[in-house]
């Protein structure tokens, strides 16, 4: 039976595990064994992992695969992907090979601007607040100088600070809306430190602003925090070829394929039920690379879906067209990524992944990640509009079922051949295993 515990975080790792297995598991010895079998035998490396988060008991493994043959702006890449979903890496690799023979992927970083906000309440005269903001703005930037000095030396820093009136949505609600350039760092700590200094200066200087009444001087700061919505931190990736060059051994007639493909994208542009699944496929590719390179995939996900809704309804992140016999497929989306700071210098596999990608800058990583999303989307739509999505999925599903039943290599070989010509379902696979073992 579950029970509460006081001071859990102060317990040693072994004591935490003892309490968990004794409290929650019928077979405490087996639970203890499962937890410990994923520990790294290198004690120093395990301690590093233990200190990434609080209350660590073990490591949770995801497969780290690679997708080769990505030609991006005439440079070849093998892209690392950390993901548990079957067929994602295979699909990305297949799309990469398809487009390598047709000129590869072309990319462009449009902007790298990131956003942070100081949210505050003010119930006085709005014109007085505007006058105060214009007066204090240089001081906000000046007081943040100790924080921004090193970033400015590298070419980044504070780009602008605006006063935004949000009183039509919440009475008395205003923002200091700030934009930043953080170069190769994702920049969360830098931005949040700047914002907290803005808030401190904004409140203290108000006490000495003569145009304010006594009540107006009492500005109430609610919070200071970066935004993971970065609609101006944009990258574009695209592929293009003559419609007739879309033909290969797997595809239907190239003209029919191109038309069906464009139609499928148009459906995702206007139908939210389809768009969510469509964009989820894009994020299969994006999240896998973001995770492999030590970036925050939750922030990337939240931003992508907000961006997909920016026009008032949820739609596709990718687009396609046919013009003058030319097929073009592209994606334009926000990606706030970093290649320095955070896990990028700590996690050994993150460092390995970045080296595999030729030590990219943040801009180059934006391009690589966008390409992974576009490739994944192309592979999914190509399957959907030709053979159907299940053909590739069910091959991997077959292997998962076989592993559940601890099939031997010989059994797997026989059953993979059998299901090359038979429909794969859980019951059918179970029956085939039973028949084979009899």
Q: Catalytic site residues?
A: 85, 280, 296, 393
CA–CA separation, 73 and 62 (whole Å): 30
Q: What contacts 342, CB < 8 A, 6 or more positions away?
A: 186, 294, 295
Q: What DSSP string runs through 2-55?
A: ----SSGGGS-HHHHHHHHHHHH-SSHHHHHHHHHHTS-SSHHHHHHHHTTSSS
| Pairing outcome for strands 318-323 and 220-227 | unpaired
Q: What DSSP string runs through 101-160?
A: TTT-BEEEE----EEEEEEEE--S-HHHHHHHHHHHHHHHHHHTHHHHHHHHHTT-EEEE
CA–CA separation, 205 and 332 (whole Å): 41
Q: What DSSP string runs through 292-360?
A: HTT--HHHHHHHHHHHHTTTSS---SEEEEEETTEEEEEEEEE----SBSGGGGT-HHHHHHHHHTTS-
Residue spans of beta strands (DSSP E) within 149-293: 157-165, 173-181, 220-227, 234-242
- Largest Cα–Cα distance in the chain? 92
DSSP state of 390: H
The structure tokens 């240089």 sit at 138
Integer angstrom CA distances of residue 128 from 133, 204, 370? 9, 16, 45
User: Do the beta carbons of residue 218 and residue 139 sit within 8 Å?
Assistant: no
């Amino acid at each position: 039976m579950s029970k509460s515990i006081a001071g859990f975080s102060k317990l040693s790792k072994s004591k935490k595990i003892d309490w968990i297995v004794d409290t929650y598991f019928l077979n405490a010895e087996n639970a203890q064994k499962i937890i410990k079998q994923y520990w790294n035998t290198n004690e120093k490396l395990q301690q590093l992992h233990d200190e990434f988060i609080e209350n660590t008991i073990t490591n949770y493994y995801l497969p780290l695969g690679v997708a080769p043959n990505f030609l991006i702006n005439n440079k070849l890449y093998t892209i690392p992907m950390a993901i548990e979903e079957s067929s994602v890496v295979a699909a990305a690799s297949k799309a990469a090979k398809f487009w390598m023979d047709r000129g590869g992927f072309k990319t462009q970083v449009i902007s790298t601007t990131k956003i942070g906000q100081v949210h505050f309440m003010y119930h006085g005269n709005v014109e007085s607040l505007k006058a105060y903001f214009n007066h204090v703005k240089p001081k906000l930037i000046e007081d943040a100088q100790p924080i921004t000095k090193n970033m400015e030396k590298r070419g980044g820093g504070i780009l602008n600070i605006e006063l935004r009136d949000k009183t039509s949505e919440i009475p008395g609600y205003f923002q200091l809306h700030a934009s930043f350039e953080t170069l190769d760092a994702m920049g969360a700590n830098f931005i949040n430190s700047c914002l907290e200094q803005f808030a401190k200066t904004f409140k203290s200087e108000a006490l000495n602003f003569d145009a304010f009444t006594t009540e107006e001087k009492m500005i109430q700061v609610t919070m200071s925090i970066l935004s993971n919505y970065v609609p101006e931190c944009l990258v574009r990736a695209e592929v293009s070829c003559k419609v007739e060059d879309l033909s290969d051994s797997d595809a239907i007639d190239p003209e029919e394929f191109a038309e069906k493909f464009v139609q499928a994208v148009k459906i995702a542009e206007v139908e939210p039920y389809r768009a969510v699944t469509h964009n989820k496929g894009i994020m299969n590719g994006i999240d896998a690379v973001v995770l492999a390179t030590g970036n925050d995939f939750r922030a990337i996900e939240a931003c992508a879906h907000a961006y997909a809704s920016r026009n008032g309804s949820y739609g596709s992140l990718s687009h396609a067209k046919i013009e003058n016999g030319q097929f073009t497929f592209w994606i334009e989306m926000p990606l706030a990524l970093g290649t320095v700071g955070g896990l990028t210098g700590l996690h050994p596999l993150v460092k390995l992944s970045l080296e595999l990608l030729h030590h990219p800058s943040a801009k180059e990583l934006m391009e690589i990640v966008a390409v992974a999303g576009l490739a994944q989307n192309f592979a999914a739509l190509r399957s959907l509009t030709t053979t159907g999505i299940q053909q590739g999925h069910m091959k991997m599903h077959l292997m998962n079922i076989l592993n559940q039943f601890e099939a031997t290599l010989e059994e797997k070989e026989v059953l993979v051949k059998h299901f090359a010509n038979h429909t794969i379902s859980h019951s059918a696979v179970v029956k085939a295993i039973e028949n084979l073992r009899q």
